[in-house]
Structure 1
Amino acid sequence: MKSFLYQEHTREEINRMAREGYMAVVALAATEQHGPHLPVSTDCLIGEYVAIQAVASAAREVPLLLCPLLSIGCSDHHLRFGGTLSFSSATYLHMLRDIGESLVRGGFRKIAFLNAHGGNEQIMHQTANDLAVKHPIWTASASYWNVSREALEAENAKEVGMVPGHAGGFETAIVLALREQLVDSIHEAVSADHSPRAWIHSGPPGTFIGRHQELTGMDGYTDTPHLATAERGLRYINAICAGVADWLIKTYRSMEQGEQSIKPS
């Protein structure tokens, strides 16, 4: 295959890959405020880098096709700060379903959603569930921080703050590693004694707790980014890419094994 990028192929090539059982990977991100120091493209920068690197690695072992990044997500909780583009949750659900339906109509029977923005997560999971209910296909969905959690723990990513947090030490470190010139001086733009919100992610996995105008932390970021460095960010992003690549490979193989197990003998 000349490329793992969906948009670089003709319709005939894509139709053939669908028939051959390729898994379509749909990468989700957002364009939204990230405090006074990070670009609004933060989730896109991280999400696209992770998707490209992880799919490139995983595609050496299993057949994958990466769809174009969805650069706008569900970010209504960021609108009050400005600088944010967002779909409502209902619109975003319909849009993800339509993308899934397009892939199904195109012949794909394996679809995986890979997410880089917290506000998209539950809608993404619902979409994957709805598609699998309606069609005889395999679906999967995950956010990069969940499937790379063990790798990030091994890198002690919490040394800089909340993981993943929002515009705190973790994301700032990664943007410093990817596009340092886009980060305003964190020593001038934000406070070193930023007041954390202890309740954010305080419940067990799979639970939610939130408060009006507090979902993004104080002043639109969850924790101080002052411990972030490009060197640390490079360690984190490499760990994420490895974790996501491993998830993609295991997901495809699970789908293949499942397909074999339900075929009539």
Structure 2
Amino acid sequence: MKSIWMHDHTREEVGEFARSGGAVVVALAATEQHGPHLPVYTDSFIMGDVAERSVRRAADDVPVLLAPLLPIGCSEHHLSFGGTISLSPMTYFQVVRDIGESLVKAGFGKIVFLNGHGGNEPMMQQVANDLAVRHPIWTAAASYWSLARESLAAIRASEVGPVPGHAGGFETAAVMALRPELVREDRIGDSHPERDWIFAGPPGAFVGRHGELTGCDGYTDAPKLATAGKGRLYLETIADSVSGWLVRTIRAMERGEETL
């Protein structure tokens, strides 16, 4: 293919690719407040970079295209801080479902959702499930931090704060690597009130408190240890993990088709 981007191709090219068994990745992100020091497009900057790197690498081994990034997510818990555009949970569910239905009608039998914002995850998982129930297709869904958890632990990413946290050391390092001119380093403090209960459960568990779902003042930890160098390492590590998962998942789908 001339490009990994679905939107670079004509309708005939997309249709032929889909009908020949190619997969499509739908990247999900958000536009929401990220404390006093990061741009509101933080999740979309990070997810856009991770998705492009990962699909570009995976495309060397399996047939896959990347759909346009969805930069608006379910961010109701950020609205009170301002600087946030959100879809309500049911609206977001229907939007993602409609995207999936559109891709099914376009001929795709392998649809992969890749997420970069925590508020999107429950609806994304349900959409993937529903599409596979309604149509004779393959679906998969995951958030990048889940796919890269072990790899990020191996490079001690948590030394800057919770991974991924929200607008803390981890995300600040990533934005420093991607768009350093947008980081308000003059607004980064040396300390931040801790909310241990936010990360009290195992992966996949949820603990919430009214008014503090994103930590104190809309972010989870002080980003004082963040650097652009660390951000580049984190993004590269994530891309390796995600691309590997994409290749394994799409190959498993292909093998499954052979046994039907």
Q: TM-score range by the shorter chain?
A: over 0.9
Q: Does 1:158 align with 2:158?
A: yes
Q: Please give the secondary structure, in 2, of the residue aligned with 1:101.
A: helix
| Cα drift, residue 248 of structure 1 | 0.5
Q: Please give the secondary structure, in 1, of the residue aligned with 2:237.
A: helix
Q: Does 1:142 align with 2:165?
A: no
Q: Specify every segment of 5 or more residues in structure 2 that has no aligned partner in the other structure, as ranges.
A: none
What corresponds to 2:248 in structure 1? 250
| Cα drift, residue 201 of structure 1 | 2.3
What corresponds to 1:113 in structure 2? 113
Q: Does 1:224 align with 2:222?
A: yes
Equivalent runs, 1:161-200 vs 2, <5 Å: 161-185=161-185, 188-200=186-198
Distance 1:77 1:34 in 2: 12
Q: 1:142 is aligned with what amino acid? A: A
| Cα drift, residue 157 of structure 1 | 0.2
| Cα drift, residue 204 of structure 1 | 1.7
Q: 2:245 is aligned with what amino acid? A: W
Q: Please give the secondary structure, in 2, of the residue aligned with 1:227.
A: coil
Residue by residue, what CA displacement relative to the aligned partner does 1:118-164 show, whole Å, maximum 9, x if unpaired? Answer: 10011100110010111111000000011011211121100100000
Q: Does 1:13 align with 2:13?
A: yes
What corresponds to 2:94 in structure 1? 94
Q: 2:94 is aligned with what amino acid? A: H
Distance 2:136 2:194 in 1: 45
Distance 1:260 1:17 in 2: 18
| Cα drift, residue 72 of structure 1 | 0.4
Q: 1:129 is aligned with what amino acid? A: N
Distance 2:64 2:54 in 1: 11
Distance 1:204 1:136 in 2: 34
TM-score by length of 2: 0.98
Q: Please give the secondary structure, in 2, of the residue aligned with 1:199.
A: helix
Distance 1:179 1:50 in 2: 14
Equivalent runs, 1:52-63 vs 2, <5 Å: 52-63=52-63
| Cα drift, residue 191 of structure 1 | 3.0
Q: Which of these residues, 198, 201, 217, is aligned with residue 199 of structure 2?
A: 201
| Cα drift, residue 205 of structure 1 | 2.3
Q: Does 1:211 align with 2:209?
A: yes
Which segment drifts farther, 107-116 or 150-159? Answer: 150-159
Residue by residue, what CA displacement relative to the aligned partner does 1:33-85 show, whole Å, maximum 9, x if unpaired? Answer: 00000000100100000000110000000000100000000001000000000
Distance 1:170 1:85 in 2: 22
Structure 1 stretches of at least 4 aligned residues deviating more than 6 Å after TM superposition = none
Q: Please give the secondary structure, in 2, of the residue aligned with 1:69.
A: coil
What corresponds to 1:43 in structure 2? 43
Q: Please give the secondary structure, in 2, of the residue aligned with 1:129.
A: helix
- Cα RMSD of the aligned pairs, angstroms, is 0.8
Distance 2:149 2:65 in 1: 24
TM-score by length of 1: 0.97
Q: Specify every segment of 5 or more residues in structure 1 that has no aligned partner in the other structure, as ranges.
A: none
Distance 1:48 1:22 in 2: 21
Distance 1:138 1:108 in 2: 9
Distance 1:197 1:231 in 2: 27
What corresponds to 2:231 in structure 1? 233
Distance 1:155 1:138 in 2: 33
What corresponds to 2:130 in structure 1? 130
Distance 1:110 1:5 in 2: 16
Distance 1:62 1:241 in 2: 16
Distance 2:212 2:39 in 1: 20
Distance 2:50 2:204 in 1: 23
Distance 1:33 1:226 in 2: 19
